[in-house]
Amino acid sequence: MSDDRRALVLGGGGLTGIAWMYGLLAGLLADGVDLRDADLVVGTSAGSVVGTNLAVGRDPAALAATQLAPPSGEIAATLGLRLAVRYGVAALAGPRDATRVRARIGRLALDADTVDEAERIAVIRSRLDGADWPADRDLRVTAVDAHTGAFRVFGRDDGVELATAVAASCAVPGVWPPVTAAGTRWIDGGVRSMANADLAAGHGRVVVVAPLSGGLGGAAPPRVQAEALGALARVAVVEPDRRSRRAFGRNPLDPARRAPSARAGRAQAADVAAEVARVWG
């Protein structure tokens, strides 16, 4: 462990999660806590979008402001009970080994009727506004091989375009198409863990921001992973409060919920700023 190295872990949560995290980060910055100073940024699904824009130095207040405008360029989608049941069936329909569970969820994704892959990547590219892998920040983007269930962490030295890696991390099974890269197809990194906070091991100060607090297919929830890190590091976990959960609504992929989610994140920042500052230093 190195006490002076800081890691920011940003978890999955759909469009509402992106908006909430931008609002939260903007509020923390206004209170004097700048999480852009992280040595390591781990992004999973929605967190890979937010993490990219932070890692390249963009202003959280400006990012939050984009969520208050009427949504454009987004493809409407639903993440509801029916799909959750399909995930559950895939998780239980064979050996419970985590990699095999992920492979079954991957087959669900490969068989799903979704929008065209190129169309989806174009949406992700617009969210990143031309960003490329940062040279001065360790940005890691998580994904899962749709065929084998193997977990993968993409970085700047892997030869995969950043927008493609982020699109892979955001490829919610059954909603968005698996993304082609590095000789295979990839699905959402949240299939392995909603935050993959264990990737921050070895850093002395860790902040985990987790719009979704559960775990899919038996995966450890973000707070459980963070508590495991806590034996060797200072750790703060920020999850949505009651007001923020109400702002999300029932569908985290609903573009219309971006603005209330961003405002809720901004309001929640005041309640967690002191705790985050104690960890971040």
Q: Hey, which residues are catalytic here?
A: 45, 188
Cα separation, 174 vs 60, whole angstroms: 31
Task: Give the tokens for residue 171.
Answer: 């490829």
Contact yes or no for 67/23 (Cβ under 8 A): yes
Cα separation, 228 vs 214, whole angstroms: 16
Please spell the DSSP secondary structure of 26-87, one letter per residue: HHHHHTT--GGG-SEEEE-THHHHHHHHHHTT--HHHHHHHTTSPP-SPPP----HHHHHHH
Tell me the β-bridge partners of 152: 143
Task: Give the tokens for residue 223.
Answer: 């707070």
Closest-CA residue to 111 (of 177, 180, 190, 189):
177
CA 212 to chain centre: 9
Our CA angle for 76, 146, 135, nearest 5°, is 80
Question: What SS3 state is found at 5?
Answer: strand
Closest-CA residue to 258 (of 46, 56, 51):
46
> Which residue type does 57 have?
G
